[in-house]
Structure 1
Amino acid sequence: MPQLSAITRFPVKGLGPDPLDQVQLMAGAALPLDRAWAIENGPSPFDDAAPGHLPKKHFLMLAGQSDLARLTCRHDAQGHSYSVSLDGADPVTVKLDDPATHLPLFDVLNALLGEAVRGPLRLVHAPGQAMTDIPQPQISLINAASVRELSDRIGQPLDPLRFRGNLLIDGLAPWEEFELIGQAIRIGGVKCRVESRIRRCVATSVNPDSAELDSNVPAALFEHYGHMDCGLYLTVLEDGLIALGDLVEIDASGSPA
């Protein structure tokens, strides 16, 4: 039976992963603190008085600034602090909820990205809204077997972190996850509805270890499978705790709604 083999959030959109052993999910919400902050790349329509979701083009992101993968990031959820280190240098640490501390982070990003920075940088946050690629409060799931098969097809190992999913499961056949769309599943004891496939962009071509664009993953998906999809979006239907090793199974209790 499939099992949950990794739980990952990305507290700041475009920056590094924060692996978890367990997490409390809330019905109708994204993974807690996943893409809770984003870095505005120059002026944008983001309104502090009415904060909400904006398209990713307004923010720093791997699809546009692949060098972001050179940063080693650490997140302290209890202290609301975030540390980044560029190529092994001494880290700088900021308080995500305190703009007065953000300048050292922006100095690192300006040095790293140069002309890719379009204007003043700003960390933005919309309470209750994850700055994911979609406005809906959903979580993302990746099937490790699908990534392994794609790796075999292109002759290059692909780290599942390329797909920046929240949940990684193992134990399904390659691409079997697509058969779950419209169904309810349980991860541990938590019921979720499988909503849709995730269409992939150039961000998946960035090697998370080297920051190099070393494989055109969307093109490889289309060449070998006739689509550019990898992973699923889920809606959480119940509050509950999930943890590494939890079983993943189809919920047979009735309607997924």
Structure 2
Amino acid sequence: MKLASVHFYPVKSTMGHDVPEAEVEPWGLKDDRRYLVATPEGQMLTAREEPRLLTCRAEVSDGTLTLTGPHREPLRVTPTTLLTEVRVWRTEVKLTDCGDEAAEWLSALLGRSVRLVWLDDPTRRPVNPKHGTPQDRVSLADGYPVLLASTTSLDRLNDWIAETAAERGEEVPAPLPMRRFRPNVVVSGVEEPFAEDGWRRVRIGEVDFRVTKPCDRCVLTTIDPDTLEKGKEPLRTLAKYRRIDKQLLFAVNLIPDGTGVIRIGDPVVPS
């Protein structure tokens, strides 16, 4: 098995980046999901509610964030020193506001009033204590620092989707790309589909990770990131084949037990 691809997302729910290598930090890949969009009242927003976030490209260079979108010229973001509380799922997290210019740029993209906020201190947000230790931290990812998916599992899921469509007399859709699932690391060469569900630990290159739990998938996976159209897949087929404890599972969550650089082609060794 080997590392087939690496991905990170500087602003939660915006376009991802495919990179040849990434630095693993205790709270996730470097620069992954350190920013998010929130309402003025301090409630997190994602592409689940605002699919147009998927049209925004966020890039980090020398510590500076630049936003690019279809509606305006690119914007370099300068965070303020103002801390504000934002509700990230069930947890209130202190985040740094990124100023009125960034807020106005994103508000114009989404057609509603929003703010951009930054997790300036990545030690501030703990992971769910049910699946981690008191010392574990996570950026602004949904719950855990790193998400791992396998190409073998995606191939099986796409086969199931095609079978489901044929059984219903529907046109067989094109296979779903891996980016629908927004993983950080993608592994090829896994012998059996969904074998990763049973891993306890995995070593990627020189970095060790704990496997916490399979990932419960949501409506975001049904949004085509190119057209922003919503469909029934993959949730319809996951509900048929991968519903476990009332959750629709695809990919697994990881917590780093060390730091270092991972690269495409690195060996992947589970245990």
Q: Which amino acid is the alignment partner of residue 202 of structure 2?
A: I
Q: Which amino acid is the alignment partner of residue 206 of structure 1?
A: I
For the pair 1:141 / 2:145, whether they are aligned, the reply is no
Q: Which moved more, 1:190-199 or 1:99-108?
A: 99-108
The Cα of 1:70 is off from its aligned counterpart by 2.6
For the pair 1:94 / 2:76, whether they are aligned, the reply is yes
What is aligned with 1:121?
115
Q: 237, 241, 249: which one pairs with 2:257?
A: 237
The Cα of 1:184 is off from its aligned counterpart by 2.0
State whether residues 193 and 234 of structure 1, in contact with CA within 8 Å, keep that contact through their aligned partners in structure 2: yes
What is aligned with 1:158?
176
For the pair 1:132 / 2:131, whether they are aligned, the reply is no
State whether residues 5 and 186 of structure 2, in contact with CA within 8 Å, keep that contact through their aligned partners in structure 1: yes
What is aligned with 1:63?
48
What is aligned with 2:130?
none
Q: 198, 207, 211: which one pairs with 1:179?
A: 198
State whether residues 14 and 55 of structure 2, in contact with CA within 8 Å, keep that contact through their aligned partners in structure 1: no
Partners of 1:40 and 1:96 lie apart in 2 by: 17
Q: Which moved more, 1:75-84 or 1:168-177?
A: 75-84
What are the residue-to-residue correspondences of 1:1-257 with 2, within 5 Å?
2-26=1-25, 28-44=26-42, 58-71=43-56, 73-86=57-70, 91-95=73-77, 97=79, 103-114=100-111, 117=112, 119-128=113-122, 129=125, 130-134=139-143, 136=144, 138-155=145-162, 156=173, 157-172=175-190, 173-180=192-199, 183-227=200-244, 228-251=248-271
Q: Which has the higher contact order (CA 8 A, sep 6+)?
A: 1
Question: CA distance change for structure 1 residues 101 and 241 in 2, over 3 Å: closer, same or farther?
Answer: closer
State whether residues 70 and 210 of structure 1, in contact with CA within 8 Å, keep that contact through their aligned partners in structure 2: no
Question: CA distance change for structure 1 residues 83 and 176 in 2, over 3 Å: closer, same or farther?
Answer: same
State whether residues 2 and 187 of structure 2, in contact with CA within 8 Å, keep that contact through their aligned partners in structure 1: yes
State whether residues 98 and 117 of structure 2, in contact with CA within 8 Å, keep that contact through their aligned partners in structure 1: no
**Deviations for 1:116-173, whole angstroms, at most 9, x for unmatched residues?**
x3x4423232411411112x5x211011221222122223311111111111111112
Aligned residues: 226
Partner SS, residue 212 of structure 2: strand
Partners of 1:168 and 1:96 lie apart in 2 by: 32
**Deviations for 1:197-239, whole angstroms, at most 9, x for unmatched residues?**
0001101111122221133322320123334011111111122
Partner SS, residue 28 of structure 2: coil
Question: CA distance change for structure 1 residues 96 and 141 in 2, over 3 Å: closer, same or farther?
Answer: farther
Query: Aligned-residue CA RMSD in angstroms?
Result: 2.3
Partners of 2:232 and 2:54 lie apart in 1 by: 15
State whether residues 107 and 114 of structure 2, in contact with CA within 8 Å, keep that contact through their aligned partners in structure 1: no
Question: CA distance change for structure 1 residues 163 and 248 in 2, over 3 Å: closer, same or farther?
Answer: same
State whether residues 14 and 58 of structure 2, in contact with CA within 8 Å, keep that contact through their aligned partners in structure 1: no
> TM-score, normalization: structure 2?
0.75
Q: Which amino acid is the alignment partner of residue 7 of structure 2?
A: T
Question: CA distance change for structure 1 residues 98 and 213 in 2, over 3 Å: closer, same or farther?
Answer: same
Question: CA distance change for structure 1 residues 239 and 125 in 2, over 3 Å: closer, same or farther?
Answer: closer
The Cα of 1:245 is off from its aligned counterpart by 0.8
The percent of aligned pairs where both chains have the same amino acid is: 22
Q: Which amino acid is the alignment partner of residue 174 of structure 1?
A: P
The Cα of 1:21 is off from its aligned counterpart by 1.3
> TM-score, normalization: structure 1?
0.79
The Cα of 1:108 is off from its aligned counterpart by 4.2
